[in-house]
Amino acid sequence: MAGNITLTMIKPEAVAKNYIGPILNMINEAGFKIAAMKLTKLSTRQAEAFYAIHSDKPFYADLVDFMSSGPIVAAILERDNAVEEFRKLIGATNPENAEEGTIRKQYAESLQKNAVHGSDSDENALVEADFFFANSDRVDYM
Ligand code: CMP
């Protein structure tokens, strides 16, 4: 059965461009509830740990630098089939391939500065939610 949470980050360039409000609006309009949320700034070490799965990729060092370069918003989002539905809402990783009406089509700048992160599986959603939040930080709507 598909899980009901996903983890998103609004990335540093989108926060710097004052897109927090518009992006959260799109998220709410798509039927997601915010179960936990915070504005924070990742240290280099935290960004390395969050993206450890990509540590063998050529873009890893730049990604870590970028993700620790400024404030981000991290949030746990809740709705049925959350991971898949959120990936539809954000669009392709590369905004050049993102469909009209997606968050990345509207707000992303480049493949790296692609406005938002979304978990890629139910399993990773749980790991990523625990990375940012304690159980006591979460509101349960269900
Ligand atoms: P995200 O969904 O946060 O997951 C991994 C991130 O790595 C991705 O969004 C992009 O920001 C970045 N990324 C993925 N592929 C590339 C690439 N080929 N070159 C540079 N950055 C990438």
The per-residue pLDDT for 2 is: 77
Residue 63: Cβ within 10 Å count: 18
Query: What average pLDDT does the chain have?
Result: 97
Atom index in ligand 1 nearest the CA of residue 67 equals 11
Residue nearest (by alpha carbon) to ligand 1 atom 12? 112
Measured CA to CA, the distance from residue 137 to residue 38 in angstroms comes to 10
The per-residue pLDDT for 85 is: 98
Residue 100: Cβ within 10 Å count: 7
Retrieve residue 95's tokens. Answer: 């905004």
**Residue 38 bridge partners (DSSP):** 74
Choose the residue to mutate in 62, 63, 88, 120 for probing ligand 1, maximizing ligand atoms within 8 Å of C-beta. Answer: 63
Measured CA to CA, the distance from residue 115 to residue 8 in angstroms comes to 10
| Pocket of ligand 1 contains residue 141 by CB under 6 Å | no
What sign does the CA torsion over 119, 123, 126, 128 have? negative
CA nearest to 107, candidates 6, 5, 15, 2: 15
Measured CA to CA, the distance from residue 61 to residue 37 in angstroms comes to 26
Q: How confident is the model over 63-69, as a mean pLDDT?
A: 98
Rounded to two decimals, the pTM is 0.97
Kindly list the structural domains of the chain, giving each domain's residue range(s) and its CATH number in brackets, ordered by start.
5-137 (3.30.70.141)
Retrieve residue 124's tokens. Answer: 């990773």
